[in-house]
Every structure is written in C-alpha cells, then in structure tokens.
C-alpha cells in the first residue's frame, strides 16, 4: 500500500454552528452538509468533518475530545497579510510569525485558536533554492 493524500480529518466540537462560523469567516472554508444532517468544512481537496461532542458518529476516535487538535493550513500569500485579515475579524494571533518546518520544507506561521481551543497554524511556504 502507498498513501496518496489526506482526504479528511474529524474534529470533535462543542458547538457545530460556532465551528462552522469560525472556519468560514476566518479561514474561508466552505460549509458542506451530507448524510443525515452531518457537517464538514471543505477547502482545496480536503475537508474537516465535524462531530458533536457526546453525539459522535461511529466509528470514532477512542477518546474524542474538543480542543485536542493541532492543525496546520498552508495559504497562498503571506502570513503577515493573513494576520492583518484575522485581526480585522477580531481573531487574535497567539504566536508568530515564526519559522517552522512543514511537510515540504520551511514555512512561516502564525497561530490562532478556534472556538474549542484547537491550535490552528496558518502558514506560507518559504521558497528555497534558485
């Protein structure tokens, strides 16, 4: 077997509407509804499926817990501009900009928190080489 891509991640949340609103407003994700009243947030070719804490869909993680995720999203453009946009929306930057190492090399990141306290890293890829 050879893995090709990450399709989706499940976030267990305390308030589906608050989570949808935050990710739509702050990060420009698209709300998706599917299969019997379920919700997700789509971006690019991936999505975040949402599970309501205490009412998760089966199968689920052994200990689904709101606020336990640490996510990193790559953006087009600069994190400086992203920080300005988030600040204008009332979303505070917790840390950054700082340099980190992403899956494909160096990145420059800022960190914010979603309504459940999940750590959300927003990063720009840093060009390397000629």
| Residues identified as active-site | 121
Note the pTM of the prediction, 2 decimals. Answer: 0.94
Q: How confident is the model at residue 21 (pLDDT cuts 50, 70, 90)?
A: very high
What structural domains and CATH numbers belong to the chain? 8-125 (3.10.180.10)
Of the candidates 8, 6, 23, the one whose C-alpha atom is nearest the C-alpha of residue 116 is: 23
pLDDT band at 40 (very low <50, low <70, confident <90, very high): very high
Residues 78-121: tens digit of each pLDDT: 999 999 999 999 999 999 999 999 999 999 999 999 999 999 99
Element at 23 (helix H, strand E): helix 16-27
Closest CA to 92 of 70, 69, 68, 117: 117
Flag whether pLDDT at 130 surpasses 80.
Answer: no
């Amino acid at each position: 077997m050879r893995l090709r891509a990450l399709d989706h991640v499940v976030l267990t949340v305390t308030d589906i509407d608050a989570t949808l609103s935050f990710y739509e407003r702050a990060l420009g994700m698209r709300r998706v509804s599917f299969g019997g009243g379920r919700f997700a947030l789509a971006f690019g070719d991936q999505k975040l499926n949402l599970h309501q804490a205490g009412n998760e869909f089966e199968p689920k993680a052994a200990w689904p817990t709101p606020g336990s995720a640490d996510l990193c999203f790559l953006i087009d453009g600069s994190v400086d501009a992203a920080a300005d946009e988030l600040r204008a929306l009332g979303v505070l930057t917790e840390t950054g900009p700082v340099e980190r190492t992403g899956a494909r090399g160096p990145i420059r990141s800022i960190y914010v928190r979603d309504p459940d306290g999940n750590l959300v890293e927003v990063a720009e890829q840093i060009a390397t080489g000629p």
